[in-house]
Structure 1
Amino acid sequence: MKFVFKNKKMKKLNIYFTAGMPRLTDTTEIMKLIQNSGADFMEIGMPYSDPVADGPVIQKAHELALKNGMTIAKLFEQLKTVKEEMTIPVVLMGYINPVLSFGFENFCSECAASGVSGLIIPDLPPVEFEKYYSEILKKYGLHFIFLITPETSSERIRYLDSLSSGFLYAVSSSSTTGSTNKAVKNDEYLNQLYDLKLENPVFIGFGIKDKKDFDSVTEKADGGIIGTAFVKILLENENWQVNAAKFVRTIKN
């Protein structure tokens, strides 16, 4: 599925969750919930034992998913069962070591067969991406999204924008996911991104926890990514189905 931005004025909501939790078999139910509640994208985290870019909530989600027995192979099995029901793009996010262990081309082939639209692999260096992996991704019709931070120079932002497709992931601050150490909205940073007139839509992530944050960061960005706040509902609420759906609808409406 290609990323579609038919209504560019409508700000896009991307919801992240970690596959294989709260229970191993909950992945597909959560996918349907996110889609049916009005989100425009979904980002599925592949559990990893050392998720260095993630804060304590998502780290806990990774630990639980691994304890439940989630693997990349099992995730692909699950994705294939709902492939035909998905009408919004599905993006996989994770770290490069498990992907390389699976075999990069084999991984991309399985992504294409499972209805995955794109990948976010924060620890894959751009130079290696260009040299070894970009052609494989093109072969299987997969988007690849790079991350930038407020410390990234304009020159490098343009470079990463040229390598990305689908959208550009703009981290709100140089911290881990879910961090509340800095304000989500950084006007200077958002103005910089807006003024650069980048090729890809810009989505803001890290620290967005509610509708107020989402509306604030999307005044000049094309979309927002919410992960920790959503995952926290899955972890802490026995009645997570109702609460998670209500949360997504509240952000969009």
Structure 2
Amino acid sequence: MNRIKKKFDELKEKKEKALVGFLTAGDPDFSKSLAIITKMCDAGLDVLELGIPFSDPTADGPVIQRSSARSLANGIHISKILKMTKKLRKTSDIPIILFTYYNPVLAFGIEKFYKEAKKAGADGTLVVDLPLEESNEMTKFWENDNFSLIRLLAPTTPKERMEKILKTAASGFIYLVSKTGVTGSDGIDASEVLKQMKMIRLVSNLPVCVGFGISTSNDVSRIASFADGVVIGSAFERLIENNMNNPELPSIIAEKVKEYKKATIV
């Protein structure tokens, strides 16, 4: 059993929902980033989305765009992120998803990315701009194993398209985007998300985690009442941006993780 399935099974038994945390790897620098993420894991984070910085993160709002720019300015690239993954794996059994755009993977080498990511201890990848029709270009190198391809579904994804994606090219869990727009934008319409959730449940048994626009504990509680997990990214990156030179930054974010995690208990 892979770490992702094991984690969601454990949470179901405990009547909790998954707290999925996104951070851009290497922000504000490699050592601080590793310290922050380690603290987050210790504080109760359930799944880690480790963001690979990209120069043109078109799906991301300004907060995550700036985090990518800082990381790139510090010379962070896939090899260093795999090194970070390997270090994290020595102290934590948390499921780790490498969150990326396709361009960095192409530049690194598709087959090389898969093999080295697995070797480092990653459990899967989410490639934001990889459409279903091109997925085989990446997955043809994958063995029949436990490395997952996490798929994004948008509020505008029609049922027929959803069925096609989920039946042919999804594993681990489903990332449901709560609304149109980019990450970090405010507000979330839980009733609309619930409608989309019901549609997904008709075609897939995979856990569904909801992201985009979730920033408060109340947001987490509302979404956790019907989803299998919540994804938070911009709120964590905003804390980094606002406390860049604060030596207590890892502890500040760890406390936020604890607050969010408490809200996932249903």
TM-score normalised by structure 1 residue count: 0.94
Deviation string 1:99-154 (CA, Å, 9 cap, x unpaired) is 0110001001110111100101011111110x322232345631011111111111
CA distance in 2, matches of 1:26, 1:138: 34
Secondary structure at 1:42's aligned position in 2? strand
Q: State the aligned residue count.
A: 250
**Partner of 2:113 in structure 1?**
107
Deviation at 1:172, TM superposition (A): 0.6
Establish whether residue 64 from structure 1 lines up as the match of residue 65 from structure 2.
no
Change (3 A) 1:137 1:86: farther
CA distance in 2, matches of 1:13, 1:155: 29
> Which of 55, 59, 70 is equivalent to 1:53?
59
**Partner of 2:132 in structure 1?**
126
Secondary structure at 1:137's aligned position in 2? coil
Q: Structure 1: which 4+ aligned runs deviate by more than 6 Å?
A: none
Secondary structure at 2:140's aligned position in 1? helix
**RCO (CA 8 Å, sep 6+): is it higher in 1 or 2?**
2
Q: Is the 8 A contact 2:36 2:249 kept in 1?
A: no
Deviation at 1:30, TM superposition (A): 2.3
Establish whether residue 186 from structure 1 lines up as the match of residue 190 from structure 2.
yes
Q: How does 1:140-159 map to 2 (within 5 A)?
A: 141-159=146-164
Change (3 A) 1:16 1:196: closer
Deviation at 1:157, TM superposition (A): 1.7
Deviation at 1:24, TM superposition (A): 2.5
Q: What percent identity do the matched residue pairs reach?
A: 34
Secondary structure at 2:21's aligned position in 1? strand
Deviation at 1:159, TM superposition (A): 2.0
CA distance in 1, matches of 2:137, 2:116: 18
Gaps of 5+ in 1: none
> Which of 7, 13, 24 is equivalent to 1:18?
24
Establish whether residue 2 from structure 1 lines up as the match of residue 11 from structure 2.
no
**Partner of 2:241 in structure 1?**
235
CA distance in 2, matches of 1:158, 1:113: 32
Give the AA of the match of 1:73: S
Q: Which moved more, 1:83-92 or 1:54-63?
A: 83-92
CA distance in 1, matches of 2:59, 2:196: 24
CA distance in 2, matches of 1:140, 1:31: 27
CA distance in 1, matches of 2:60, 2:221: 23
**Partner of 1:93 in structure 2?**
99
**Partner of 1:252 in structure 2?**
261
Change (3 A) 1:196 1:147: closer
Give the AA of the match of 2:241: L
Q: CA RMSD in A?
A: 1.5
